[in-house]
Structure 1
Amino acid sequence: MTSILLFGIFALLLLINLPIALAIIFATLVTMLATIDTLPALTTIAQRLAAGIDSFALLAIPYFILSGYLMGQGGIAQRLIAFAKVLVGKLPGGLAIVNVISCALFGSISGSAVAATSAIGGFMIPAMKKEGYDKPFSTAVTVTAATTGMLIPPSNILIIYSLASGGVSIAALFIAGYLPGLLVSLLLIASAVLYAKRHNIQPIQGQVEEPFWASFWGAIPSLLLIVLIIGGIIGGLFTPTEAGAIAVLYSMALSLLFYKELSIKDIYPILLKSVNTTAIVMLLIGASSAMSWLMSYEAIPQSISNSLLNLSDNPLLILLIINLTLLLIGTFMDMTPAVLIFTPIFLPVAESLGISPLHFGIMMILNLSIGLCTPPVGSVLFVGCSIGKVSISKIIKPILPLYAAMILALVLVTMFPAISEFLPQLFGLI
């Protein structure tokens, strides 16, 4: 009964467009008032809001957010696009491949799908249209490719999953995201190439603007950020939180001194945006922590787990049910609260079937990444449509094959745990 009340109120508040953090808090508060005395309910809500963000690991999030904004405005995107164009621009569907690779590279550097959509889409969508691509398709490629940054580290959502799962190694999660992120990118590239061949779109016309080595040396300082952060974490030189601080210093030095795309006066607006974004993320984490506490107090995860396990003891069938549920959740809920709320519900089910928390986490993040570019609440979809100046109704048809590619990647990651676990095992992280 408690679960019905909790999720019923939450769904109702979402339907009336209440901000999701407030919807979580009010749904939790009303449910607690109905089941617990008033004073303990209010006290517990306040305590959980504070305790939910009282974590050293979460300090990495504001650092990576700030680093992402610095990279987004520091001339990184154009250099990554130029490098990708030199590498694959002359292939069939070359500019679409450039788009996917650029989004994957920038998403991994910035840690933000929205930032990748904005930075890459603003340049690539008009360029693809000029080369003969349909604008809705160009937008669809950007939107779907930008989500690979959720899997390829450094990724804030992987840090949040580590918190929600009770302490899965952040370093292991970071390394585990590479192969699934690469798999999604390759399948999106395959879809884009098929589209180009079907519509007889030729490789990029004329000469590539820069010779290989010029574009390579222009992009390599940005790419070194990934090596610096991941290499340092794996080598035990610093923690993910310390890596976030190093990423900020490196990004600032790169943008101010090396590329010289930013000036000192640009830093304050970037800091302000970073603070606003961090505040939103932390409020979501605190609110979701309160809801998770209530679910644990009322044994909601255990009851859902028992219900699922009573359906079947076939791991693939249970994972299919979980994946379908998460795909539905991802269409109307942002990724951060979805991870915080549903990890405690579904992870025990997965573990009881012998599925590692690491594999489940990568599967869950890949699943919810699809929701970022799915209506009605897909934040990346809305940003992409705004940048591409196309309506959501026009983008639905061209984005369907790309959805299919992402779902195929999800199926493969779900069925073959080695895709997620091979690299962490290779580096001795699990």
Structure 2
Amino acid sequence: MDAAALATLVLVGGIVVLLLIGAPVSIAVGLSATASLCTVLGVQNGVLTSAQQVFRGVNSFPLLAIPFFVLAGVVMNNGGIALRLVNAAKVLVGRTPGALAQTNIAANALFGAVSGSAVASAAAVGSTMAPLQAKEGYDRNFAAAVNIASAPAGMLIPPSNLVIVYSLVSSSSIAALFVAGYLPGVAWALVCMAIVFLVARRRPEMRFRGGIGIAAGVRVLLSAVPALLLIVIVIGGILAGFFTPTEASVIAVAYSLALAFAYRAVQVRHLPGILMEATRTTAVVMFLIGVSSIMGFVLSFAQIPAAVSETMFGLTTNPVLLLLLIAAVLLAVGCFMDPTPAVLIFTPIFLPIVTSFGIDPVHFGIIMVFNLCIGTITPPVGPVLFIGAKVADVSIESVFRSLLPFFGAIALMLVVVIFTPALSLWLPTALGLM
């Protein structure tokens, strides 16, 4: 057995075994990749090379955007933003059937956009909306399904940490990827709204029961404007060239802190807890990026991307079938793996394949993120599924049946995103980012 084959065997076998015994993904990837290098380079050189790759992987100025956007999201989650966005969403959806459920979807899209986290959105918005929907007589499982299905829309609408990770792995423009996520993210929310509309027409308890006057509605919208301005400041500043995405993340932290203090939802004594929460999340992400750099080195050494490419070309040379095959693989991966390590692992494998067919890396990035967002609401690992069920106080088994129509609609939208590149590329092209 040659060195490349041995390295591949140790890497893949180690990851599978460690995952089966319940080891975290980061530990499984890091130990297996290090063991693979030690096998072919010797223990001393293998450990030294692994350490160098970890340092190389995290020694990146653009990566500083991740901890700052994470901190901004935590501040937003603790800063009284969710209730204001829920109230604004309630005004925006107006008199549509299933108004409270529609409000949940709109609020998830808005809060996800300012926090960059689907889990935070499902927790903050879900805990606010679940009691309101229960009071109106909504089916608890359906209400939970609405919250769970719509929360990942915010992972597509910028700023998104997952998009930042993809941009670093693929060397694509962060600004172009940010803007490319807008229309697919809005489309995700719209198909969820369409399902709610169809269901609400058959359920009397979901009919519109009155709203607030115009003057009160205007006041509610104005109260949410400062939170929504974060998106305008961050994305507008990047597009206008006033600051880089990394600098924008620092501005997001300063702005969200100022807003939280202005709303009197956060005090100085709360800051240590907020910083600790953001540090835990950041440490997990950065450690994943570091150990994935070791694995990337092993993949390159063993020429695994080339082998996967040859295998796929052996199955089909039709670009349509190839994209569907990759989408199916990513959907399966998303069911068992968190989005961040999935992006780090599979981007170096699939990106060279799709670019050989002339598919734009920005378009493929949105396809990949959309795929993996579905995984966050799919058992057995789906974090959004679990947190959404928890805040609604329902079981995974009972809510899954109510999720099925949303899965169908979102899967259909995934097909549209895959085969309609303009949905992802029109905005960045129009703004001169591509």
- TM (norm. structure 1) is 0.97
Say yes or no: does 1:43 pair with 2:48.
yes
Q: Write the distance in 1 (CA, Å) between the matches of 2:142 and 2:40.
A: 50
Of the candidates 233, 236, 245, which is equivalent to residue 238 of structure 2?
233
Q: Write the distance in 1 (CA, Å) between the matches of 2:392 and 2:351.
A: 38
Of the candidates 129, 136, 156, which is equivalent to residue 131 of structure 1?
136
The one-character-per-residue Cα deviations of 1:330-381 (angstroms, maximum 9, x if unpaired) are: 0011111100010000000100111000000000000000001111111111
Of the candidates 268, 290, 296, which is equivalent to residue 292 of structure 1?
296
Match of 2:360 in 1: 356
Of the candidates 203, 220, 223, which is equivalent to residue 199 of structure 1?
203
- Structure 1 counterpart of 2:359, one-letter code: I
Q: Write the distance in 2 (CA, Å) between the matches of 1:425 and 1:382.
A: 37
Q: Write the distance in 1 (CA, Å) between the matches of 2:421 and 2:34.
A: 39
Match of 2:371 in 1: 367
Residues 198, 5 of structure 1: alpha-carbon distance in 2 compared, 3 angstrom cutoff = farther
Match of 1:265 in 2: 269
Three-state SS of the structure 1 residue aligned to 2:29 is helix
CA contact (8 A) 2:95 2:210 kept: no
Three-state SS of the structure 1 residue aligned to 2:286 is helix
- TM (norm. structure 2) is 0.96
Greater Cα shift, 273-282 or 126-135 = 126-135
The one-character-per-residue Cα deviations of 1:36-84 (angstroms, maximum 9, x if unpaired) are: 3222211111111111111111000111001001111111110111111
Q: Write the distance in 1 (CA, Å) between the matches of 2:281 and 2:401.
A: 32
The one-character-per-residue Cα deviations of 1:24-45 (angstroms, maximum 9, x if unpaired) are: 1112122223333222211111
Of the candidates 51, 61, 70, which is equivalent to residue 66 of structure 2?
61
CA contact (8 A) 1:84 1:101 kept: yes
Match of 1:213 in 2: 218
Identity of aligned residues (%): 47
- Structure 1 counterpart of 2:74, one-letter code: Y
Aligned pair count reads 428
CA shift, 1:309, in A, is: 1.7
The one-character-per-residue Cα deviations of 1:135-165 (angstroms, maximum 9, x if unpaired) are: 1111111112110111000001111001111
For structure 1, list consecutive stretches of 5 or more residues without a partner in the other structure. Answer: none
Q: Write the distance in 1 (CA, Å) between the matches of 2:147 and 2:322.
A: 32
Match of 1:169 in 2: 173
RMSD: 1.3
CA shift, 1:86, in A, is: 1.4
- Structure 1 counterpart of 2:278, one-letter code: S
Q: Write the distance in 2 (CA, Å) between the matches of 1:3 and 1:181.
A: 37
Match of 1:380 in 2: 384
For structure 2, list consecutive stretches of 5 or more residues without a partner in the other structure. Answer: none
Q: Write the distance in 1 (CA, Å) between the matches of 2:205 and 2:303.
A: 56
Say yes or no: does 1:394 pair with 2:398.
yes
Q: Write the distance in 1 (CA, Å) between the matches of 2:264 and 2:208.
A: 29
Of the candidates 281, 285, 288, which is equivalent to residue 281 of structure 1?
285
CA shift, 1:106, in A, is: 0.2
CA contact (8 A) 1:89 1:97 kept: no
Q: Write the distance in 2 (CA, Å) between the matches of 1:428 and 1:211.
A: 40
Say yes or no: does 1:312 pair with 2:316.
yes
